[in-house]
Amino acid sequence: MKPLVIVGDSLLDVDIEGSATRLSPEAPVPVVDAERLVQRPGGAGLAALLAARTETGVTLITGLADDEAGRGLHSLLSTAGVRVLALPMTGSTVIKTRIRARGQSVLRLDRGDATPVDLPLSEEATTALGDARAICVADYGAGVTALPRIREALTRLAPRVPLVWDPHPRGSAPVPGCALVTPNDEEAQRFCGSAWSGDAGQTLLDTWHARMVCITRGSRGARVYGAHREVTNIGVPNGLGTAAADACGAGDRFAVAAAVALGAGADGVAAVRAAVADAARFVATGGAGAVSSPVPGEAAQGLSAPTQLEDRSRVDAIALAERLRRDGRTVVATGGCFDLLHTGHIRLLRQARELGDALIVLVNSDDSVRALKGPGRPVMHDADRARVLGALACVDAVAIFDSPTPENLLDVLRPDVWVKGGDYVASELPESELVRRHGGEVVILPTVAGYSSSRLIAAASAGGSLSERY
């Protein structure tokens, strides 16, 4: 049988699972008592693993770094029956670690900076693509789908091989002629940008020159847009629409199922209908957690894997910015006290990270916070605030500054985008002129109403339940 070929960015997913029954005495954050450590391929690797559970002849074309995690990732995939054709990478394997308590994610820690090298495709990879019964592209924004030779091959094959493209906001645009492109609802609106007029599917169909666009909508099913402007709504089958605690991997399961159906001769709507059912069944039966493997050896016994994660509060922010600029990438920076971290901060940081290729957070020192907020602040020392920020997946580096405003640090950092949250006017910010003098842009993002560190600290000081008071 011809192979099902998966193309895209792979990473290693690690879950630390446990329970949380108390708050830390240092700060109002949960303490997770770790009980189990599991791992699995992530990204395109997870798509290939899921495909291999039901299909024979699964080939994965992906970048793999030459390090311990990369070799472990290769082993997990090969053991599952996936034929891995590795593209060369620089840097270290991307590892995403979720800390989970009673099935709910509490925190995610990311490390690794693997980047694919632009070299000619091997004869094996070229042959596998040419012989494929269907191709599923799992783009996770790490660079594989941006490689010119990958794009040339996929563009050449799209007219004759069913090509399903699962896009990523930081990834590359799908090549023209895809049989099906599968963004979710939120992604579709973001891909449209200023062109969005309330009908994202039709806009993206024209933008990407795809044969069909399917916007996935979680428990609400999917909406399919065809080349002749027809729109088809597909619901989740009865009995499979119950929300589950962990939907991780549902998008990969959906894209793989659609590719399999198209490769077997189904039309686009029938392929999406099968994919909706498969993805719902996958979530209902445990999602990605059901295909995870225990981490072997001392790492599992001592739960030592997290201690090896890079502390991004120690990353040299200026060196990172210089390296990214040399590569022609966009550096985003934001700043503040971040004492204590709350939902409004997280949303701001996530939105800021989406504006470029890396986010550097500038944090007021303890003395700087006291000058701004009074003698009772900060609640957390600057080093602790930096470590908490550095543990967030959307933050690439953290730097601490002593002055009331971060102008001295910005003068050296020279970000492409400087982000502030709230009701500021860009022209009134003292650092705006400096940022623009270096060719940067100032972006003001709205804050989330009802959230502030001062209210959180007051609620914690008053005692009782934080959920009732804040």
Catalytic residue, chosen from 110, 139, 166, 252, is: 252
Q: Where in the chain is the domain with CATH 3.40.50.620?
A: 317-458
Please confirm, yes or no, whether 252 is among the known catalytic residues. Answer: yes
Q: What is the pLDDT of residue 319?
A: 79
- Spatial separation of the C-alpha atoms in residues 259 and 248, rounded to whole Å: 19
Q: What is the mean pLDDT of each run of 10 residues along the chain (470 residues)?
A: 92 86 82 83 92 88 92 89 92 91 83 90 93 94 93 95 93 94 87 71 87 89 86 81 63 92 92 90 74 61 39 70 82 87 79 86 89 82 85 83 86 91 72 90 74 51 42
Q: What is the pLDDT of residue 61?
A: 96
Residues 6+ apart with CB under 8 A from 176: 155, 158, 208, 209, 210
Q: Where in the chain is the domain with CATH 3.40.1190.20?
A: 4-294
Find out if CATH 3.30.450.20 is the number for domain 317-458: no
Q: What is the pLDDT of residue 35?
A: 74
Q: What is the pLDDT of residue 64?
A: 93
Return the CATH fold of 4-294: UDP-N-acetylmuramoyl-L-alanine:D-glutamate ligase (3.40.1190)
